Amino acid sequence: MENRITLKELARLLNVSISTVSKALNDSPEISPQTRKRVKELAALNHYVPNVMAQNLKNQKTRTIGVIIPDILPHFFAEALHGIESKASELGYRVIICISNESIQKEAESINTLIKGQVDGLIMSLSQETQAKMEIDHLKAISNHKVPLVLFDRVLNQIECDKVHINDSLQAEQATMELFKSGCKKIAYFSGISDTSVDDERKKGYLEAVRNHGASRKVVNFDQKNFPDQKLQDLIRNKNIDGILASDELGAILVMKSALDSGFRIPEDLSVIGFTNGIMSEHFRPALSTVDQHAEEQGRLALETMVDRIEGKLPPEPIEYRLETSIIHRKSTRNKALQPAD
């Protein structure tokens, strides 16, 4: 940072005014071709780079979008981030990332640091704690500062802003129906991400499907760090559970591992569908059938919406996108009627 050459210094060396240098560098037609050439040559020679801080201050915008996600390790968020970053880069925007670690406090801190004129807008997927406690005071700060907000995946109806997500309940209902159609009689819902909006929706969809089908319900919430193996065994053996819808990829993998380790066969004894398609689903044996949430697509759309909002291309009222999802049939379900992909 020290000793970087500035317009002022360039102007001094060239014996012209700062304005002239600035205009020449910006290819203003006001400046004669010869001067432009001279200026550019000297600038290149000295590795001149404009100071964006100064430009931003002057222009009152940063072309930078803040992104706050709960975690980066789950494949869904890594992929969504990838979508956000690549779209941003296409549109000439930069991205600042903060990770809330599922905590309200960290989320609030991130909002505060980003909001200080550092970013033109904020894209967020809410932390588990925020959704569980329904505390949204820290989010209010965003609108107080007139910074546009786009929520994706984990959204909250109470907040008025643009939203990008999938229809989780509908998808869960359809996935459950697929399990019934494939011959399952008793289906359970396993969740390791309770207290999130997406879990609520997925559970709702599952319950809806089970009710419509006149079957009995069974919801198991567990801690990702401590899978209830014994409970799963009992369910399969004593309650004849033969199908499971899992709330996320890791949950589905844990269910499968536990079942296989206990000697059950997949999909012969137990069919499994997991939400969130990721790399583990693809490579596990048997490969897991999943609801593909199009993480990257959600990210790209969220970023695009943000930019359109910033650039005033959107009507004032918030817009909400509900992406279509699809079920990827692999080896953990036994539906012969459906053509398995891979």
> Which parts of this chain interact with a copy of itself (CB under 8 A)?
1-4, 47, 49-54, 56-57, 60-62, 64, 72-73, 75, 78-79, 81-82, 85-86, 89, 94-99, 101, 106, 109, 112-118, 120, 141, 144-147, 250, 253-254, 257, 260-261, 279-280, 283-285
Rounded to a whole number of angstroms, the distance between the first and last alpha carbons of the chain is 53
Measured from the CB atom, is 38 or 231 closer to DNA? 38
26 is an interface residue for DNA by CB under 7 A: yes
**Torsion angles phi and psi, residue 94, rounded to 5:** -110, 165
Q: Do 244 and 289 contact (CB within 8 A), yes or no? A: no
Which of 12, 27, 37, 59 binds DNA (CB under 7 A)? It is 59
33 is an interface residue for DNA by CB under 7 A: yes
Measured from the CB atom, is 22 or 103 closer to DNA? 22
Q: Count interface residues toward DNA (CB under 7 A).
A: 29
Measured from the CB atom, is 72 or 219 closer to a copy of itself? 72
Could you tell me where the DSSP H helices lie in the chain?
7-14, 18-25, 33-45, 52-59, 75-90, 104-115, 128-133, 137-144, 168-181, 197-212, 229-238, 249-261, 279-283, 295-310
Residue 51 Cβ vs a copy of itself, minimum distance, rounded to whole Å: 4
With the C-alpha atoms ordered 196, 201, 331, 179, is the resulting torsion angle positive or negative? positive
6 is an interface residue for DNA by CB under 7 A: yes
Q: What angle do CA 128, 129, 132 make, to 5 degrees?
A: 85
Residue 47 Cβ vs DNA, minimum distance, rounded to whole Å: 12
Residue 233, sorted as left (phi over 0), alpha (psi -120 to 50) or beta, turns out to be alpha
Which of 27, 37, 41, 55 binds DNA (CB under 7 A)? It is 55
Measured from the CB atom, is 25 or 132 closer to DNA? 25
Neighbours of 141 (CB within 10 A): 13
User: What span, in angstroms and rounded, lies between the C-alpha atoms of 179 and 331?
Assistant: 13
Measured from the CB atom, is 26 or 118 closer to DNA? 26
Residue 225 Cβ vs a copy of itself, minimum distance, rounded to whole Å: 12
Which of 12, 37, 41, 57 binds DNA (CB under 7 A)? It is 57
AA identity, residue 162: D
Find which of DNA, a copy of itself, none residue 214 binds, CB within 5 to 8 Å per kind. none
- Residue 94 class from Cβ within 10 Å (0-12 exposed, 13-18 middle, 19+ buried)? middle
User: What span, in angstroms and rounded, lies between the C-alpha atoms of 327 and 193?
Assistant: 20
Neighbours of 205 (CB within 10 A): 23
Measured from the CB atom, is 75 or 186 closer to a copy of itself? 75
User: What span, in angstroms and rounded, lies between the C-alpha atoms of 294 and 166?
Assistant: 9
Find which of DNA, a copy of itself, none residue 230 binds, CB within 5 to 8 Å per kind. none
54 is an interface residue for DNA by CB under 7 A: yes
Find which of a copy of itself, DNA, none residue 20 binds, CB within 5 to 8 Å per kind. DNA
Residue 50 Cβ vs a copy of itself, minimum distance, rounded to whole Å: 6
Q: Which residues bind DNA (CB under 7 A)?
A: 4, 6-8, 15-20, 22-23, 25-26, 29-35, 50-51, 54-55, 57-60
